[in-house]
Amino acid sequence: MDIRVYLDHYLDGQRQQRAAVFKEAASTSMLMHGVKFLCQHFYHLFDCYCKCYMLLRLRLHAPRTADDVWKKMSRLYADAIDSYHMLWVIATLVCYLIGWQLWNIQTGTTLDWCLWIVPLFLCVYRVFEILAALVEIYFRPSDTKHHQFRILLHASMHYLAAGFAFALFYVFTDWGFESFTEKDEPQFGEWFEPIYYSLTTVIAFSPNGKPQDWLGKLLNLLELIIGFMLVTFIFMNITQIWAGSHSERQ
């Protein structure tokens, strides 16, 4: 029994379902046609991770029959999604910590600028991936009784990842352009201050810093918009689930 064949067939079905979700989202408005781009270009890493994770788990606990394989697929896929989002929380935090160390380097040489590329690229990628996930959260129908809890679980990890990512953006713009430096005095005295500033912005819509230029203010507004989108999409999705279950009981 070739486990890889069954796994490829299952994941192909999941990709087709996801494509249908984004197609439905794109049909709602001409402004949503960009979601096809998100679907095509921000899920390659996710698909690769899910395949590797599930294949490893299946090989560690090799099922004996094809029925056993199919029974484990949905659970393993859910575990892969959960662990993927958790790893991104850790990755964005590590990227921020790297950025904090670079923030203390004041030389500003070409090499210093190049060192920022990898953490910035990863965090920008994750922000766009979160936006794609928001569309999928809203338009994907509930197919498990734990769907509502998992939405909240994933939302909390999206909030953390977005907060860590923007904390990195804040320290980078302050390092490169002094966007948060007032009268030669930087606003970030300790490593946790940018994280606190970022998380209160995205979660509580309450910026604590004072951007000194248009770049810092733009980052502030972008994070506020992402936080608003997160809370709106999640609230609307959970409301739909609650309304659906309530009508079924009646």
Instruction: Average pLDDT across each block of 10 residues of the chain; the chain has 250 residues. List them in order.
Output: 83 90 82 70 90 91 72 88 96 97 82 92 94 81 66 89 96 91 81 93 80 90 91 73 53
pLDDT of 38 reads 67
Q: Cβ(77)–Cβ(14) under 8 Å?
A: yes
User: Residue 99: what pLDDT?
Assistant: 95
Contact by Cβ (8 Å): 198, 167: yes
CA 36 to CA 81: how far, in whole Å? 21
Which pLDDT score is estimated for 142? 61
Identity at 214, one-letter amino acid code: W
The per-residue pLDDT for 91 is 98
What local confidence, expressed as pLDDT, does residue 66 receive?
67
Other beta carbons within 10 Å of 80: 20
Report how many domains make up the chain: 1
Q: Is 129 helix (H, G, I), strand (E, B) or coil?
A: helix
* Residues 134, 230 contacting (CB under 8 angstroms): yes
Is 47 strand, coil or helix?
A: helix
Residue 205 sits in which domain range? 3-249
Q: How far is Cα 10 from Cα 212, in angstroms, rounded to an integer?
A: 51
Quote the tokens at residue 247. 């009508």
| Calpha distance 172→99 (Å, rounded) | 7
Residue with tokens 């000194």: 212
As a whole number of Å, the end-to-end CA separation of the chain is: 47
Q: How many CB atoms lie within 10 A of CB 187?
A: 19
